[in-house]
C-alpha cells in the first residue's frame, strides 16, 4: 500500500513485462517517455494505456519533460484554446529537441488524441518538429508507430481501425495500477452519434462503440485486485453503453449492478451522460445500489428550446428537468453537475436568461461552462448569426457567478454532517489526508498514510468553493 506514496508513485516506470510484480534488471540506458494529457478523462485513460504499452515495451516513464527521449502530447480539440495550447507546447519542445541534437541525442515528438485526428497531416506542415501523428483509435499500434518514428520516419495514423483498440492494448500490470491510486478510470464506451452542431467529438472519436461487459468486468476485477476502490466508468455518451449476451440486452444500469457485485469495489461513478439516454433502469440503479455514488454529470448546454434545437441536442428543457426530478426521487441526495455554452449562434439575451432559469431550478453542485467556440467542420461554425465575443464573455461571467454561488451553497450545506470519505492521498502538510465525498468534493482531514484506500467517517467542519474540511469521528 505504501506504493501510493507520491514519491514512490514513479516506481511504476519499472518494466514489468512478466506482470508478476517482480522487478527485472533495467538494461541501460533505457529510453524515457513523458506523456502530457489535455482534455477529458477519456484522454487520461488513453494516456495511461499508452504508457502501459510503452513501459511494458522497455520504456521508463518520467514526469520530467527535460529528461524525456520520447514526448507524447495527447491532445484535445474541443475548443480553439485547447487546440492552440498544443502548438505553444510544441514550440517549447522544439527548443528541447535542438538542445538534445546539439548533444548528439534524439528526442521523438508525437501528437496523439483529438487534434491529431482532426488536423492530421496539417500538423506536420505547421509544426515540422513533430515526428508522429496518431488518432485516438490507433493506440493499439503505439509501440510499433513509435519504433518507426524513432527510426527517422514521419509516421501518421488516423484510421478508425476495425480492430478494437481496447482489446489489443496490453492491460496494465498490477504495479502500474497500484501506482495510479485508489480511484481509477475505466472507459466503457467511446465515440458519439449525436452530432451536436457545436461539437467536434463525433469527428475526432468516431461512431459510438461499446466495450463488451466481459472485457469491462475483467478490467474492473484486475483494478480491484490492485487496490482500486472507486471506479469511474467513462464514455463520451457513457449512458448509451449497451451490451448483450444470450439474446438479453444490457444497459448501463445492468452493468453497474454487475460491477457492484465485485469484491473490493466500494464506489462506482460514470460520466458523461446525455439526457436522451437516461433510461429508467439507470435511474432506478441509483435507488438500488449503495455503491453507486449520488452524483450525476448531465450537460444541458442551454436552457432555450429553440437554441437546444439549433444545437441538435435531441431534447427539450422539459425533458432535462424531468430526468433530474426522477433522479432526485430515486436518490434524494443526488448532486447534479452540468455543462453550459454561452453565445451559441443566434442566442438572444432572453434565450440566455432561460439558461439562468434552468440553473436556478436545478441548483447545481458543480458545473463547467464555456463561451461558444466555432470549430472548423461543425455546422455551428457556418451559421451566420455568430454572437460577438464580448457578449459571450459577459453571459459567461453572469452564468459563472450564479453557478459559483450554488456550488458554495451546496458545500456549505454539508457543514455539520457526518459523511463517508474515501481516502485518496496524503495532503500538503504532515498528518493531512485528502479524501473524496460521495458528491465528489475533495475533503481535507487528518490521519495516517496507511489509511489511503480506506473509507472513513468524518464530520464536516468547514467548506470552501472547491473543498471541505472535516474531523475524524
Q: SS3 of 224, please?
A: helix
Q: At residue 6, what are phi and psi to the nearest 5 degrees?
A: -50, -40
Residue 195 binds what, of ligand SAH, ligand SF4, ligand F3S, none (CB under 5 to 8 Å, by partner type)? Answer: ligand SF4
Contact 283, 252 (CB under 8 A): no
Alpha-carbon distance 116 to 83, whole Å? 10
Coil, helix or strand at residue 414 = coil
Question: 268: closest CA among 183, 340, 165?
Answer: 183
Stretch that binds ligand F3S, among 73-81, 94-102, 299-307, 334-342 (CB under 6 A): 73-81
* DSSP calls for 286-303: HHH-TTB-SEEE---B-S
189 in contact with ligand SF4 (CB under 6 A) = no
Binding segment (CB under 6 A) for ligand SAH, from list 143-151, 213-221, 366-374, 431-439: 366-374
Decide: is 337 part of the binding site for ligand SF4 (CB under 6 A): no
Binding mask 29-48 for ligand F3S (x = CB under 6 A): ----------xx-xx-----
As measured in angstroms, the least distance from the Cβ of 368 to ligand SF4 is 12
Nearest to 74 by CA among 39, 107, 32: 39
Residues between 95 and 124 that touch ligand F3S (CB under 6 A): 113-114
| DSSP per-residue letters across 17-69 | TT-SSPPPPPPSSPPEEEEEE-SSHHHHHHHHHHHHHHHHTT-EE-S-GGG-S
Residue 205 CB, shortest distance to ligand SF4, in Å, is: 8
Name the binder of 336 from ligand SF4, ligand F3S, ligand SAH, none, CB < 5-8 A by kind: none
DSSP secondary-structure letter at 3? G
Q: What part of residues 259-318 is at the interface with ligand SF4 (CB under 6 A)?
A: 274
Cell, residue 334: 443526488
- Minimum CB distance to ligand SAH, residue 78 (Å): 5
What's the closest the beta carbon of residue 261 comes to ligand SF4, in angstroms?
Answer: 30
- Residues making contact with ligand SAH (CB under 6 A): 78-79, 198-199, 201, 236-237, 272, 274, 299, 301, 339, 341, 370, 372-373, 375
- Residues making contact with ligand F3S (CB under 6 A): 39-40, 42-43, 76-78, 113-114, 200-201, 204-205, 236
Amino acid at each position: 500500500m505504501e506504493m501510493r506514496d507520491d514519491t514512490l508513485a514513479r516506481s511504476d516506470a519499472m518494466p514489468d513485462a512478466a506482470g508478476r510484480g517482480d522487478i527485472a534488471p533495467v538494461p541501460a540506458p533505457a529510453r524515457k517517455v513523458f506523456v502530457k494529457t489535455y482534455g477529458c478523462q477519456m484522454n487520461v485513460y488513453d494516456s495511461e494505456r499508452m504508457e502501459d504499452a510503452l513501459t511494458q515495451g522497455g520504456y521508463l516513464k518520467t514526469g520530467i519533460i527535460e529528461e524525456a527521449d520520447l514526448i507524447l502530447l495527447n491532445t484535445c480539440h474541443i475548443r480553439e484554446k485547447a487546440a492552440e495550447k498544443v502548438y505553444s507546447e510544441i514550440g517549447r519542445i522544439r527548443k528541447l529537441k535542438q538542445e538534445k541534437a546539439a548533444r548528439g541525442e534524439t528526442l521523438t515528438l508525437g501528437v496523439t488524441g483529438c487534434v491529431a485526428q482532426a488536423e492530421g497531416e496539417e500538423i506536420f506542415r505547421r509544426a515540422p518538429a513533430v515526428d508522429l501523428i496518431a488518432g485516438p483509435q490507433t493506440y493499439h499500434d503505439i509501440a510499433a508507430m513509435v519504433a518507426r518514428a524513432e527510426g527517422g520516419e514521419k509516421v501518421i495514423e488516423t484510421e478508425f481501425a476495425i480492430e478494437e483498440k481496447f482489446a489489443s492494448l496490453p492491460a496494465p500490470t498490477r504495479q502500474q495500477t497500484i501506482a495510479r491510486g485508489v480511484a481509477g478510470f475505466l472507459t466503457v464506451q467511446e465515440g458519439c452519434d449525436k452530432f451536436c452542431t457545436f461539437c467536434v467529438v463525433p469527428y475526432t472519436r468516431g461512431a459510438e462503440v461499446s466495450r463488451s461487459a466481459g472485457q469491462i468486468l475483467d478490467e474492473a476485477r484486475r483494478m480491484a485486485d490492485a487496490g482500486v476502490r472507486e471506479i469511474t466508468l467513462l464514455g463520451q455518451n457513457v449512458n448509451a453503453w449497451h451490451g448483450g449476451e444470450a439474446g438479453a440486452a444490457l444497459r448501463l444500469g445492468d452493468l453497474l449492478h454487475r460491477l457492484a457485485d465485485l469484491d473490493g469495489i466500494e464506489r462506482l461513478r460514470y460520466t458523461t451522460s446525455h439526457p436522451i439516454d437516461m433510461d429508467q433502469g439507470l435511474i432506478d440503479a441509483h435507488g438500488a445500489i449503495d455503491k453507486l455514488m449520488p452524483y450525476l454529470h448531465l450537460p444541458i448546454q442551454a436552457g432555450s428550446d429553440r437554441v437546444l434545437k439549433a444545437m441538435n441536442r435531441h431534447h427539450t428543457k422539459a425533458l432535462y428537468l424531468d430526468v433530474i426530478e426522477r433522479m432526485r426521487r430515486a436518490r434524494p441526495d443526488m448532486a447534479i453537475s452540468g455543462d453550459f455554452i454561452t453565445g451559441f449562434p443566434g442566442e438572444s439575451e432572453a434565450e440566455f436568461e432561460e439558461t439562468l432559469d434552468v440553473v436556478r431550478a436545478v441548483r447545481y453542485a458543480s458545473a463547467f461552462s464555456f463561451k461558444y467556440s466555432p470549430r472548423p467542420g461543425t455546422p455551428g461554425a457556418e451559421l451566420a448569426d455568430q454572437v460577438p465575443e464580448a457578449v459571450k464573455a459577459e453571459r459567461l461571467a453572469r452564468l459563472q457567478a450564479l453557478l459559483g454561488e450554488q456550488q458554495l451553497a451546496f458545500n456549505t450545506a454539508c457543514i455539520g454532517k457526518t459523511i463517508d470519505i474515501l481516502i485518496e492521498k496524503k495532503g500538503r502538510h504532515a498528518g493531512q489526508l485528502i479524501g473524496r465525498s460521495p458528491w465528489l468534493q475533495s475533503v481535507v482531514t487528518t490521519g495516517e498514510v496507511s489509511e489511503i484506500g480506506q473509507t472513513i467517517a468524518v464530520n464536516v467542519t468547514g467548506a470552501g468553493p472547491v473543498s471541505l474540511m472535516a474531523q475524524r469521528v
